Structure 1
Amino acid sequence: MKKVTILLSAAIVLLMSCNTKQKVDEKSKEPAKKNILFILADDYGYNDLSYRNDSFYETPNIDRIAKEGTVFNNGYAACQVCSPSRASIMNGKFPARHGITDWIGAREGEKWREKKRFSKLMPAKYKHSLSHKDVTLPEALKAAGYATFFAGKWHLGEKGSWPEDHGFDVNKGGWDAGGPRGGYFSPYKNDNLKDGKDGENLSMRLAKETVNFMKENKDNRFFAYLSFYAVHGKIQTTKDKWAKYRKKAEKNGIAETSFKMKKFLPMRETQDNPIYAGLVESMDDAVGEVLKGLEDLGLAENTIVVFTSDNGGVSAGDSNSTSNLPLRGGKGYQYEGGIKEPYFIKVPWIKKRIKENNTPVTGTDFYPTLLDLVGLKLKPKEHLDGVSLLPLLTGGTIKERPLIWHYPHYGNQGGEPSSVIRKGDWKFIHYYEDGRGELFNLKNDEAEIHEISKENQEIASALKTELFNYLKEVGANYPEKDPTYNAALEAAYLQKTATKRLESLEKQRMSYLSPDFDPKNDWWGSFQTID
């Protein structure tokens, strides 16, 4: 009997040992060294990829990230223009809190009058560089032993506030400018990026610099931040790509007109711009280069890949590149077309991933999410307006919270000085010109066609109160009335815009779509600005 007891005890110990080993093996599926590849596009619209719109654009590599990762269908940028949302990715704070509420270089206060738009308000003052007081995402990762790399567009301050001043070990091409000053082909006219051979593609160059960094650090943990200048204006492409997408536009049927006048500017309502589509494909080619680099280096299984954009597609002002329909508005606008983005996160070691999630999430969430995913402690005193999305990636939920946008500016694209709150399915917009409010239920009305504040006064009032309590708490700046405002001058400006500018835009669009289109120089100089 004693021998049986001993054998039974040994069997139990062996079984427990096996179970323990299984748990260890199960846990060991997570790699010891977890890397991060963060890909940020510029001015890239929610529907400007074949994952959602295969009738015109071709983006197989970006689509791959979406298909192999988790798609956040209600993923947002933290602002409708670039610098504020880029800062929010770095510090996990909404723009109203960190103070960069407009793109750095935009006119503020009385200087707005220089635009000669004769507006009712003078835009609010804003901060012109990323604060050194904040511990940024790259600084947090660097402190944990990560090699950090930046390539592409920065636009978060002048020298002294460049990527290398905020936690990046290497900087390839990040500096003051928000657009590609030399265009998308070398020479680049970029103080922090050496020129390649004439005609070298900028997006591909940035991708190759990223692959080189990953190769040099394949045995280390790394954070590679690839921040494309694409698809910011001026939009450019090659003759071959222009011809390809011109034929696609023709096959789809070319509408007689595309632009409709909105409050301040005409807005594009068709996706048939062959120059822009060619630029999109070139960016996708560069994404493919980096993904291939991960595979060739044997790093694909232990590298998180993020893809997103800093604001909506440009449908008015600037390069008038695209339409965000059925979403309303575009870059610079308070509507969904200005703030809703492609928002994909791929974590290779999460095998039972959630393919799509409808929870509203935003750019401030990347900071805590990435720390969480690589096993680092969160920094709640830093990423004050962000939460970890790890529960959503694995089938869980997060607590409902308000998302806040504060843009007390006019901008270049025709948006209005406003503040926005989204909570659950409800979205409330406050306008500073006249104090009016708009309420939408995004579950029932994603296109924001039906304004329903009168039917839901209690909801509108509660959201407005919550919005302004937050703005007061963080010490937000506001626009002020312009004492020199002249309604007749503004009306004359708007009338000219609604006629001459709209006519010029339609003429330019048809020239791009003409079989005889010739930019009369190298093809990468193919864009012309409409004044």
Structure 2
Amino acid sequence: MNKLLSLLILSCLAVQAADKPNIVLIMVDDLGGRDLAVYGNKFNESPNIDKLATQGMVFDQAYAAPVCSATRASIQSGQTPARVGIFDFIPGHWRPYEKVTVPHHKIQHLPENIFTLGDAMKSAGYKTGYFGKWHLNDRTAKGKEARHTPDERGYDKSYMYNGGGFYRPVFQPAYKLDKPKRLSQVLTDMGVDFIKENKDQPFFLFVSHYDVHVQLDADKDLIDKYLNKKRDPNYPGNAVYAAMIEHTDDSVGQLMKAIDDQGLADNTLFIFYSDNGGVDNRYDDIPLLGGRSVNVYPEGHPLRYVATSNAPLRSGKGTVYEGGIRVPLIVRWPGKVSPGTRSEAVFSSSDFYPSFLEVTKTQAPKNQVLDGVSMVPALTKNSFDPEREVFTHYPVYHHDEPMSALRKGDWKIIENLVSKEFYLYNIKYDVNEMVDHKVSLPAKFAEMKAALVKWQKETKAQMPVPNPKFDPSKRYQWGKNPYK
């Protein structure tokens, strides 16, 4: 009888564990939509991410915001950046003499009324951990203003990267290293320790890398490896950037191994993602190399200024074009996701929140709009809405002028918020976004324009306004955001 009772208890515990799978989310900073071998890259090497792809599902149409803070706010809120009010990086870009004055964040942190993804996971009975780049608070603030850190927004254990570069990382709270280590390795160690500490209970681990953000800096042996590698004639082949990708790939491999070593793989949803498109060049046209790697390329060498190319996607980070917002997304979930598969489902950063609610069987927070949709049907049944609407609102100057966009089905409309011009592209046949169809297809143009304008009003998306200080001779000068 006792043996039967023990078997029943073990069976109940197994069912309970399956109802609450562990979740690991690894996010890389500024990794482009065409930087990995699984997306066709022939220069950069990422064997662990390749392995993850063979074990899970690769999304070919995953989207983020054009910049980091906006995507991070979207993930934590389940809302579009326009609705949550964080649409640029914190504190934000500023050009004081441009034709328009761009809107500013009303607060320089994730709004206090947001029940975060961390809060939601804690309410579902999960241990929560956040390690790395947060960028949802003002790091220059002092006293009471120096708040809104991960530990206050739903994460049981957290270390927020607080500057110092890739080889002298500083964290909040303070984190003592036993010996000097690269930032990517420190974050990986934190993640591995968190997995081991919480192996006997459901956990949500968010590892947020600062790689492959500029200024580019990496281990010399890896840089030398790529300097000596034959370059793909259709790709820049920046050796420092490629080395940084390999650093993040090593992290993925170590975290996958930690999950496997603890016997948790079959009950862990493991996700790899990027926060925006790749950086082809800096918006302010200064060299991209820094730290120990500042002299890898000599003066005048083009790869001092070019990190990557998102081709055939147009443009890069800081724009609403495909190169700025289409990113890698790979998901492994044994027994749920068929290994070695690809999905055409359109995914948005706001989808993580409702997806995790469904995975953990948790109720959505009251009085908080969720703009995202659950990715679970796409993952488990390849079921998704091919006509889904995904909006991008980036009303500031960065690599281009302020713009707003809607992707729906095969079509994408872009509004230039300065000139008030619209452009209509067919993404399926013209991923370069070069052929404007608004004149040849007036009915489709009217439909897409109406949908974009309706959404802007519904979300109260902030817009630029005419600048009384407009000075054509100074318009391209960058200034410090006065609302910082």
TM bin, normalised by shorter chain, reads 0.7 to 0.9
In the alignment, residue 130 of structure 2 is paired with which amino acid? Answer: F
Q: 1:227 and 1:420 mapped to 2: Cα distance?
A: 27
Indicate whether 1:341 and 2:322 are aligned: no
Q: Which residue of 2 aligns with 1:478?
A: 463
In the alignment, residue 453 of structure 1 is paired with which amino acid? Answer: K
Indicate whether 1:182 and 2:164 are aligned: yes
Q: Which residue of 1 aligns with 2:63?
A: 76
Given candidates 110, 121, 124, the residue that maps to 1:130 is 110
More deviation, 350-359/51-60: 350-359
Deviation (angstroms), 1:98: 0.5
Q: Which residue of 2 aligns with 1:527?
A: none
Q: 1:162 and 1:29 mapped to 2: Cα distance?
A: 31
Q: 1:122 and 1:404 mapped to 2: Cα distance?
A: 22
In the alignment, residue 408 of structure 1 is paired with which amino acid? Answer: P
Per-residue CA distance 1:383-415 (angstroms, 9 max, x = gap) = 52111111111224234331111111002xx12
> Structure 1: where are the runs of 5+ without partners?
1-20, 176-180, 255-268, 495-531
Q: 1:348 and 1:417 mapped to 2: Cα distance?
A: 42
In the alignment, residue 202 of structure 1 is paired with which amino acid? Answer: L
In the alignment, residue 362 of structure 2 is paired with which amino acid? Answer: L
Q: 2:325 and 2:33 mapped to 1: Cα distance?
A: 9
In the alignment, residue 449 of structure 1 is paired with which amino acid? Answer: M
Indicate whether 1:252 and 2:237 are aligned: no
Given candidates 284, 292, 295, the residue that maps to 2:249 is 284
Q: Return closer, same or farther for 1:70/1:30 CA change in 2, 3 Å cut-off.
A: farther
> Structure 2: where are the runs of 5+ without partners?
1-7, 139-145, 289-305, 479-484
Q: 1:233 and 1:198 mapped to 2: Cα distance?
A: 24
Indicate whether 1:312 and 2:312 are aligned: no
Q: 2:200 and 2:372 mapped to 1: Cα distance?
A: 31
Q: Which residue of 1 aligns with 2:370?
A: 384
Deviation (angstroms), 1:197: 5.5
Larger Rg: 1
Q: Which residue of 1 aligns with 2:292?
A: none
Indicate whether 1:106 and 2:106 are aligned: no
Q: Which residue of 2 aligns with 1:404?
A: 391
Q: Which residue of 1 aligns with 2:447?
A: 462
The answer to which structure, 1 or 2, has the higher relative contact order (CA under 8 A, 6+ apart) is: 2
Deviation (angstroms), 1:376: 2.6
Alignment coverage as a number of residue pairs: 438
3-state DSSP class of the match of 2:250?
Answer: helix
Tell me which protein shows more helix as a share of its residues: 1
Percent identical residues: 36
Per-residue CA distance 1:349-376 (angstroms, 9 max, x = gap) = 2164681111211111111112212333
Deviation (angstroms), 1:63: 2.0
More deviation, 206-215/365-374: 365-374
3-state DSSP class of the match of 2:185?
Answer: helix
Contact 2:43–2:232 under 8 Å retained in 1:
no
In the alignment, residue 182 of structure 1 is paired with which amino acid? Answer: G
Q: Return closer, same or farther for 1:393/1:324 CA change in 2, 3 Å cut-off.
A: same
Per-residue CA distance 1:108-137 (angstroms, 9 max, x = gap) = 5xxx32xxxx42111112242111212111
Indicate whether 1:40 and 2:21 are aligned: no
More deviation, 436-445/62-71: 62-71
Q: Which residue of 2 aligns with 1:219?
A: 200
Indicate whether 1:49 and 2:40 are aligned: no
Q: Which residue of 2 aligns with 1:369?
A: 355
Contact 1:33–1:220 under 8 Å retained in 2:
no
Q: 2:414 and 2:80 mapped to 1: Cα distance?
A: 16
Aligned-pair RMSD on alpha carbons?
Answer: 2.4
Q: Which residue of 2 aligns with 1:210?
A: 191
Q: 2:117 and 2:475 mapped to 1: Cα distance?
A: 43
Deviation (angstroms), 1:32: 4.6
